[in-house]
Amino acid sequence: MNVLFLTLLDFSTINENGIYTDLMREFVKDDHDLYIISPTEKRKNEPTRLIDNGKVKILKLQIGNTQKTNLIEKGISTLTLESKFKIGIKKYFDDVKFDLVLYSTPPITLQKSVEFIKKRDNAKTYLLLKDIFPQNAVDLGMFKTSGVKSLIYKFFRNKEERLYKISDYIGCMSNANVEFLLKHNPSIPNETVEVCPNSIEPIDIDISEHEKKQIREKYNLPIDKTIFIYGGNLGKPQGINFLIDCVRANEYNENSYFFIVGSGTEFVKLQYFFEREKPKNAMLRSQLPRNDYELLANSCDVGLIFLDSRFTIPNFPSRLLSYMQSSMPVLAATDINTDIGKVIESGSFGYWCESVDVDKFNQLVNKLCDVELKLKLGKNARKYLENYYSAKNAYEIIIKHLKK
């Protein structure tokens, strides 16, 4: 079977670790021919090229800059994505008849490319729904749904509805995502929507206590405290003000320490807070190389997840998986609409509180400083990952539709 995967993720091999590359390897293991469009942004000055590895062909398509740029350039680049993808398909994959097209959100602006392949090849289409846009922008006050300022929202909402319409199947990250999608899009047939969660191919991580001590010393982290790590995007979706309140409230906790590493639009706000108040019980670092971060994360004790309390859409951050892979308990502070807290607590691998309740967060921090409890919850996290969030499980969910 010929499978086409459309993504904005920039990679040149599927041997990297990640929710998409791990899933793609499952298709290759099952002897499918895989074609991928993985773009590279203009700033890198790399011309469009095709990487042909036999069963896997990756088209590195040059596109405009969509990250680390101003809003005007990002907007233009985003709007021209589908035309560039369509041109790339015609030029490099014109003689390939595709059986399945896989694509993820973000972005929602690949609709015409998907539509083109569906019509040309009579291919099945499967949307991996990782983001519900533009509603998430509305929740954070970036878009308006009425008045003159609603024009941008209405434009993207129309693109979103058309993307859903051409999707034969939609894989959501959780049950709450399924319920939200069907409630707010009644035209979508119920039988086309299912849970296809964020998944990885779990790898064994073995770091001795001696190595953990060395890594902590390298990054000037305390040896004798429970290290709570947050790694990933530091933007508006994470509700940085609440994170700052939590750091302040734990400044004199003798048992815990916060380590925050990442990048994003709100990093400067965090940096200013750290420079101004110099919290004694926390450290902020900019984004690290992937291998360095993985070693560091596995030397910490508890994984943190933050989401802005204003969200009405049920987000389900994929960083949860890296914590679980490291056999770490998870402490999530989120809005009330996501079900990530329910999953964490029903799986007995961590705790949840609403991201407006600093006192409850502090109580859970203190609770997770217990050594025996950390070990127990950490083992549960790894077991839950292997049972429910493996890339093989996600592959089976998708491929069953092609076997009918």
When pLDDT is averaged across residues 47-60 and rounded to a whole number, the result is 91
Is the domain spanning 2-200+391-399 CATH 3.65.10.10? The answer is: no
Q: Is the pLDDT of residue 399 over 90?
A: yes
Task: Quote the tokens at residue 210.
Answer: 């001696």
Q: Taking a C-beta distance cutoff of 8 angstroms, is the pair 309, 239 a contact?
A: yes
DSSP label of 107: -
Is the domain spanning 209-388 CATH 3.40.50.2000? The answer is: yes
Compare 343 and 220 and report the one with higher pLDDT: 343
Taking only the tens place, the pLDDT of each residue in 239-255 is 999 999 999 998 888 89
Strands of the sheet with 330-334, listed across from one edge: 282-286, 256-263, 226-233, 302-306, 330-334, 350-354
When pLDDT is averaged across residues 40-67 and rounded to a whole number, the result is 84
Q: Is the pLDDT of residue 179 over 80?
A: yes
Q: Taking a C-beta distance cutoff of 8 angstroms, is the pair 2, 98 a contact?
A: yes
Task: Quote the tokens at residue 263.
Answer: 């990048």
Q: Is the pLDDT of residue 156 over 90?
A: no
pLDDT at position 70, please? Answer: 67
pLDDT at position 149, please? Answer: 77
Compare 161 and 72 and report the one with higher pLDDT: 161
When pLDDT is averaged across residues 156-180 and rounded to a whole number, the result is 92
Cα(382)–Cα(368) distance, integer angstroms = 17
Task: Quote the tokens at residue 33.
Answer: 């021919």
Taking only the tens place, the pLDDT of each residue in 258-298 is 999 988 889 999 999 999 999 999 999 987 777 778 888 88
When pLDDT is averaged across residues 179-207 and rounded to a whole number, the result is 92
309: left (phi over 0), alpha (psi -120 to 50) or beta: alpha
pLDDT at position 372, please? Answer: 94
Cα-Cα-Cα-Cα torsion 379, 384, 7, 26, nearest 10 degrees, comes to 100
Cα(279)–Cα(256) distance, integer angstroms = 13
Mean pLDDT rounded to a whole number for the chain: 90
Share of the chain above pLDDT 90, in %: 62
pTM, 2 dp: 0.89
Cα(236)–Cα(89) distance, integer angstroms = 35
Taking only the tens place, the pLDDT of each residue in 321-356 is 999 999 999 999 999 999 999 999 999 999 999 999
Residue 150 pLDDT class (50, 70, 90 cuts)? confident
Q: Is the pLDDT of residue 177 over 90?
A: yes
Residue ranges of the chain assigned to CATH 3.40.50.2000? 2-200+391-399, 209-388
Handedness of CA 106, 107, 113, 118 (dihedral sign): positive
Residue 353: strand pairing partners: 333
Residue of 220, 222, 219, 212 lying closest to 328 (CA atoms)? 212
Cα(153)–Cα(333) distance, integer angstroms = 28
